[in-house]
Amino acid sequence: MSELIALIERNQDLLGETAHSLENGGFQVKSAPDFECGLQLFIDNSFDLAIIDTETGLMGGLGFLQSWVEEAPEDHTPVIFLMSDAVGKAELDEIISQSHFKSRVIETLFKPIEPDRLTSFISTYFESKRFVPPKKSKVMAVDDSPILCTMYQCLFEKHEFLYEIVSDSTKAETIAQYFKPDLILMDASMPDIDGFTLTKNITSSKELASARVIMVTADSRKSVILQSLINGAVDILNKPFDEEILLAKMKSHLDKKRVYDELSGAYQRVKATNERLSALAATDSLTGLYNHGRLHEYLIKEISKAKRHDRSLALVMLDVDHFKRFNDKYGHRCGDEALRTLAVVLQGALRDGDVPARYGGEEFCIILPETDLEGGALVAEKIRNVVENTLVSADCCDETLTVSLGVAQWKNGCSAIKLIDSADKAMYVSKNSGRNQVTKA
C-alpha cells in the first residue's frame, strides 16, 4: 500500500505540480491551499507524512502544526517544512527546538525546489523507514566510546539484529572470526589497534572476505577516506551521524552482501556440479577407477614429466584369466562384482601416486611414475599374488580369480600408444604361457 501524504501549499501552481510529481512517484496525495482546509484534512485522514508551507511569516505553518498537536496529541505524523526565506532558517530552528512537536519535523527545505527532487527526497525517506533487516543479519560494532556502544546496542536491538559490540580493539579480530558478521561498523580512531588496521586484517581473512565494513570517523579529510577504502571499507560514515542515514547505509550494504552470498553460493553449486560431471566423465561407472579416455590423458602427462625431469616410468597391463567362463558360470551380476573387487584390490596394493584405470572389459592398466622395469615387475607380482588370494564374495559365488600381467618401461621417444601396446603384448605373453604370471616387455 502506498504512503498517504498531506500537502499544504498556498501557491496553486506549485501545489498542482508537486501533487502530480508525488502521485507519479507512487504516493497518494491529499492537498489543501490553506491551513483551515489543511486542518480538516488531518481530521479526516491519517497521514504518513505532511508537507507544509510556512508562508512568508514563520508562524503560519508552525501555528498550524501547533493547533493540530493540541487537537490530536496522539498523532505523530512526520513533517517537512517548505520555506521561501533561507534567512529565517535559524529562527525557525530555534522555535522548533523549543516546541512540543520538534520530534515530528524531519527536514526544512527551501523554495524554489523542483517537485521531482522533492519526490526523490521523500522516496528515500520512506525507503529508510521501510527498512526491515533480514532476521539473520549479523552486525558488529567496534568502538571504544561507551556512549556510541550504548547507542549501537539500542539500535541493533530495536531492529532485531544479531549483534556483537566490541569496545576493546585488541579483541575485535577474534570475535569477528567466531561471530562472522555480515556488516561491521568500525571506528577509525581507537587505542591499541586503529580501525584501518583492523579492517585490513578482517577483510584479508578468507572466512571474512565478504564482510562489509563501514568506517565511522569524525575526520572527513580526503586522506582518511582513501585510507579507509584502500584497507577494505566499503563506505564511510562521518560523526556525528543521523540514525536514518546509518540504517540506510546498513540496508544498502546488507542487501549487497546478501546478493553476493547468493551468487557465491550459486557459483559454488555450479562448480561442484561441474566437478562431479567432470569426475563422472573421467571415471568408470562400475569400478570407480579412471576410464579409458582419462587413462590416455594422464599417461601423456606422466610421459611429459618423465621426459622433462629424466625420470623412469612403467606401465602394467592386466587381464582377468578365464573371465568369460566366470561370467557364463555365475552370470554378469557376479562378473560385475568380481571387477569391483579387483578394483578395490588394485587400490589397496598400489603406492601413493600410482594410477589404476579400467582399460576396457576385464582389462586394467596401471601407471607407475618414477618406476623402472624391475620395479614395475615387483608391483605387478604383488598385485598378482593379492588377487590370487582374494575371494570374490557375492550371494551368487565364492571364488578366487587370477590375472595375467605385462610390464613395460617408457623410453625416450616412446609415445603413450606405443607404451600401452608394449605392455599389452607382454600381457598376452603371460596369457599364452599359462596365465597367472607377470611378463616384462
CATH number at residue 84: 3.40.50.2300
Q: Fill in the amino acid letter for 325.
A: R
> What does the pLDDT read at residue 86?
56
Structure confidence at residue 89 as a pLDDT band (50, 70, 90): low
CA distances 334 to 329, 340, 386, Å, are 9, 10, 19
3-state secondary structure of 176: helix
Torsion of CA 187, 188, 191, 197, to 10 degrees: 110
| Domain of 325, in residue numbers | 292-440
Total domains, the chain: 3
pLDDT tens per residue across span 297-348: 999 999 999 999 999 999 999 999 999 999 888 888 888 889 999 999 999 8
362 is catalytic: yes
> What does the pLDDT read at residue 139?
95
* 76 burial type by CB count under 10 A (0-12 exposed, 13-18 middle, 19+ buried): exposed
Tell whether 349 and 428 lie within a shared domain. Answer: yes
> What does the pLDDT read at residue 56?
41
Structure confidence at residue 114 as a pLDDT band (50, 70, 90): confident
Weakest mean pLDDT among 112-116, 241-245, 364-368: 112-116
* Res. 58: pLDDT tops 60: no
What are the grid coordinates assigned to 373, written together?
622395469
Tell whether 205 and 118 lie within a shared domain. Answer: no
Tell whether 9 and 29 lie within a shared domain. Answer: yes
Torsion of CA 387, 393, 399, 402, to 10 degrees: -20
Rounded to whole angstroms, how far apart are CA atoms 272 and 242? Answer: 45
What are the grid coordinates assigned to 261, written together?
552470498
Residue holding cell 612403467?
A: 314
> What does the pLDDT read at residue 387?
93
**Considering just the CA atoms, what is the radius of gyration of the chain in Å?**
39
**Which of 130, 156, 177 lies at the terminal end of a domain, its last residue?**
130
Domain membership flag for residue 276 = no
Is the separation of the CB atoms in 203 and 211 below 8 Å?
Answer: yes
Which of 29-38, 103-112, 414-423 reaches the highest mean pLDDT?
A: 414-423
- Averaged pLDDT, 111-127: 80
- Averaged pLDDT, 242-262: 89
Average pLDDT, the chain: 86
Tell whether 121 and 145 lie within a shared domain. Answer: no
Tell whether 48 and 163 lie within a shared domain. Answer: no
CATH number at residue 357: 3.30.70.270
Is the separation of the CB atoms in 334 and 276 below 8 Å?
Answer: no
Domain membership flag for residue 252 = yes
Domain membership flag for residue 280 = no
3-state secondary structure of 247: helix
Among 299, 282, 290, 293, smallest CA distance to 419 is for 299
Domain membership flag for residue 231 = yes
Domain membership flag for residue 367 = yes
Domain membership flag for residue 163 = yes
Tell whether 380 and 407 lie within a shared domain. Answer: yes
Tell whether 46 and 145 lie within a shared domain. Answer: no
Weakest mean pLDDT among 10-24, 61-75, 185-199, 259-273: 61-75
**Which of 130, 160, 188 lies at the terminal end of a domain, its last residue?**
130
DSSP 340: H
**β-pairing verdict for 4-8 and 28-32:** parallel
Structure confidence at residue 57 as a pLDDT band (50, 70, 90): very low
**Which of 130, 159, 193 lies at the terminal end of a domain, its last residue?**
130
Element (H, E) at 344: helix 332-349
Element (H, E) at 114: none
Tell whether 436 and 368 lie within a shared domain. Answer: yes
> What does the pLDDT read at residue 118?
82
Domain membership flag for residue 284 = no
Rounded to whole angstroms, how far apart are CA atoms 292 and 309? Answer: 26
Rounded to whole angstroms, how far apart are CA atoms 399 and 396? Answer: 10
CA 417 to chain centre: 45
Tell whether 377 and 320 lie within a shared domain. Answer: yes
Tell whether 336 and 415 lie within a shared domain. Answer: yes
pLDDT tens per residue across span 138-183: 999 999 999 999 999 999 998 889 999 999 999 999 999 999 999 9
Domain membership flag for residue 330 = yes
Tell whether 118 and 96 lie within a shared domain. Answer: yes
Among 250, 254, 212, smallest CA distance to 234 is for 212
Catalytic residue among 9, 55, 302, 362: 362
Q: Cβ contacts of residue 242 below 8 Å, gap of 6+?
A: none
Q: Which residue has the higher pLDDT, 115 or 177?
A: 177
Neighbours of 429 (CB within 10 A): 15
Tell whether 80 and 120 lie within a shared domain. Answer: yes
